[in-house]
Amino acid sequence: MKVLVVGGGGREHVLCWKIAQSKQVDKIYCAPGNAGIAEVAECVDIKPMEFDKLVAFAKENAIDLTVVGMDDPLVGGLVDEFEAAGLRVFGPRKNAAILEGSKAFSKDLMKKYNIPTAGYETFESPEDAREYLKTAKFPIVLKADGLALGKGVLICESFEDADAGVKELMEDKKFGASGNRIVIEEFMTGREVSVLSFVDGNVVKIMSSAQDHKRAKDGDQGLNTGGMGNFSPSPFYTADVDDFCQKHIFQATVDAMKAEGRPFKGVIFFGLMLTPEGPKVLEYNARFGDPEAQVVLPRLQNDIIDVFNACIDGTLDQIDLKFSDEACVTVVLASDGYPEHYEKGFKITGKENFEGKNDYFLFHAGTKFDAEGNVVTNGGRVLDVTALGKDLKEARAKAYEATEWVNFDNKYMRHDIGKAIDDAQ
């Protein structure tokens, strides 16, 4: 069969890599892909929001299955367009992807169905938001309602901070229209855990847990980013936590979406905070995490095509998801200055050091070929250096060892990815 993957980051690289392992797959295309994805798929020069072109490409090339990796096209309704054209596609429809596309929607859903999350209020005018903040408890959290590349969240220590935050989100529109409406939320404390799950409209099966490192700098300092590194499994996702989440969060969310007439098929990513009062939902995403996918999919034992098909056909109950006992760690190599200002176009050397090794992977997040055919940096997050190990300590040591194998100007990384593991042991 022929598969098309939509996206061009590290998540889509690991997706293409995993899909390539399926015996059912003869050919993979990726739109737009990147220089690393080109090793496993044919890259197609179509942007993820060019829906008509994607549909036309899938028809012309008799694509059997399309997998949408990114949030923007999902929230924009790419799956609906494919379905309308009679094409088979993995991912939630627009009316279900809103679970990620609108924080106000997801918070209201959780409130209505008693799914544990932080208390909140929604505001459509800066004046009302400021009025509310005058009597609020600090720290407090401001969130742009819409998609903002994981960066539209501000943690404010004081009224002055929050006042500036309202200006940034709602008046200066730093994250565009996503700030037309904001959610102001109670500040929670605790460890964060990411749980990705496959969902077929009715049944939800969780993948192994992971832990992101969202801030740009060591010690969780600096700005929020899309994610600077990740590890799986999370030792903090214990059997008790799992028990609670299975009872009160995972199935409850899938049932709530169904009850709202928005059945969810695809991946739900539960961003959880393990608070002193128990696990609570920080956020939902309607897709694999990036770089969560890079640490979870190398441990997935199933043929991923079988799982995608089961989600589409509503037969996920028949799939027994299996993960290897190994641990996996990803360290993101970014371009210095990310997530704000950074340069692109630096030549990348040392990629060949990863060849022929089956416990080290170099997933490309933001790379391209220059005019001479060299692989150069093409984004804030550039490479995802990934390693498997018998436990998290070993995987972490291996991933950091491998960060030295590959180089480019302005290479920047956090040095404490997975440090929480060492601290806990």
* Residue closer to ligand GLY, measured from CB, 107 or 151: 151
Is residue 12 a contact residue for ligand GLY (CB under 6 A)? Answer: no
For the CB of residue 12, give the shortest distance to ligand GLY in the complex, in Å.
Answer: 12
User: Residue from 227, 229, 298, 339 that binds ligand GLY (CB under 6 A)?
Assistant: 227
Which range, of 43-51, 195-203, 288-296, 403-411, touches ligand GLY by CB under 6 A?
A: 288-296
Pick the closest to residue 275 from 160, 190, 164 (CA basis): 190
* Residue closer to ligand AMP, measured from CB, 103 or 396: 103
Instruction: State how far the Cα of 411 lies from the Cα of 365, in Å rounded to an integer.
Output: 13
β-bridge partners, 210: 194
Is residue 185 a contact residue for ligand GLY (CB under 6 A)? Answer: no
Helix 159-166 with 126-134: angle, nearest 10 deg:
170
Report the residue number whose CB is nearest to ligand GLY.
227
* Residue closer to ligand AMP, measured from CB, 80 or 212: 212
User: Residue from 282, 293, 312, 333 that binds ligand AMP (CB under 6 A)?
Assistant: 282
Amino acid residing at 401: E
* Residue closer to ligand GLY, measured from CB, 283 or 326: 283
- Tell me the CB-side half-sphere exposure of residue 80, using CA atoms within 13 A: 12
Is residue 339 a contact residue for ligand GLY (CB under 6 A)? Answer: no
Using DSSP, state whether 34 is helix, strand or coil.
coil
Q: Which helix (H) or strand (E) holds 200?
A: strand 191-200
User: Residue from 22, 24, 95, 224 that binds ligand AMP (CB under 6 A)?
Assistant: 224
Is residue 81 a contact residue for ligand GLY (CB under 6 A)? Answer: no
Q: Which does 282 bind (CB under 5 to 8 A by kind): ligand GLY, ligand AMP, none?
A: ligand AMP
Residue with the two structure tokens 């060591």: 218
* Residue closer to ligand GLY, measured from CB, 18 or 351: 18
Is residue 80 a contact residue for ligand AMP (CB under 6 A)? Answer: no
The answer to whether the beta carbons of residues 36 and 362 sit under 8 Å apart is yes
Q: Which does 388 bind (CB under 5 to 8 A by kind): ligand GLY, ligand AMP, none?
A: none
Instruction: State how far the Cα of 166 lies from the Cα of 183, in Å rounded to an integer.
Output: 10
Instruction: State how far the Cα of 402 lies from the Cα of 255, in Å rounded to an integer.
Output: 43
Q: Which does 49 bind (CB under 5 to 8 A by kind): ligand AMP, ligand GLY, none?
A: none
Alpha carbon distance, N-terminus to C-terminus of the chain: 46
Give residues 403-422 in contact with ligand GLY (rule: CB under 6 A). Answer: none
For the CB of residue 368, give the shortest distance to ligand GLY in the complex, in Å.
Answer: 21
For the CB of residue 318, give the shortest distance to ligand GLY in the complex, in Å.
Answer: 28
Instruction: State how far the Cα of 304 lies from the Cα of 62, in Å rounded to an integer.
Output: 20
- Alpha helix positions (H), 275-372: 292-296, 304-313
Pick the closest to residue 379 from 4, 9, 97, 51 (CA basis): 9
Give residues 292-311 in contact with ligand GLY (rule: CB under 6 A). Answer: 292
The residue count for binding ligand AMP (CB under 6 A) is 16
For the CB of residue 52, give the shortest distance to ligand AMP in the complex, in Å.
Answer: 31
For the CB of residue 345, give the shortest distance to ligand GLY in the complex, in Å.
Answer: 25
Token readout for 316 is 């996920």
Q: Which does 48 bind (CB under 5 to 8 A by kind): ligand AMP, ligand GLY, none?
A: none
Cα–Cα distances in angstroms (integers) from residue 24 to residues 27, 267, 304, in the given order:
10, 21, 10
Beta-sheet strands, E only, within 79-148? 89-90, 120-123, 140-144
For the CB of residue 70, give the shortest distance to ligand AMP in the complex, in Å.
Answer: 16
**DSSP per-residue letters across 271-287:** EEEEETTEEEEEEEESS
β-bridge partners, 269: 196, 285
Token readout for 385 is 């250096």
Question: Residues near 112 by Cβ (< 8 Å), separated by ≥ 6?
Answer: 256
- Burial-class residue 194 by CB neighbours within 10 Å (0-12, 13-18, 19+): buried
For the CB of residue 16, give the shortest distance to ligand AMP in the complex, in Å.
Answer: 26
User: Residue from 69, 165, 271, 418 that binds ligand AMP (CB under 6 A)?
Assistant: 271
User: Residue from 30, 74, 133, 153 that binds ligand AMP (CB under 6 A)?
Assistant: 153
Give residues 175-214 in contact with ligand AMP (rule: CB under 6 A). Answer: 185-188, 192, 214
User: Residue from 10, 69, 179, 289 that binds ligand GLY (CB under 6 A)?
Assistant: 289
Instruction: State how far the Cα of 145 lies from the Cα of 425, in Å rounded to an integer.
Output: 38
- Kindly list the residues in this chain that would bind ligand GLY in the complex (CB under 6 A): 150, 212, 226-227, 285, 289-290, 292
Q: Which residues bind ligand AMP (CB under 6 A)?
A: 118, 141, 143, 150, 153, 155, 185-188, 192, 214, 224, 271, 282-283
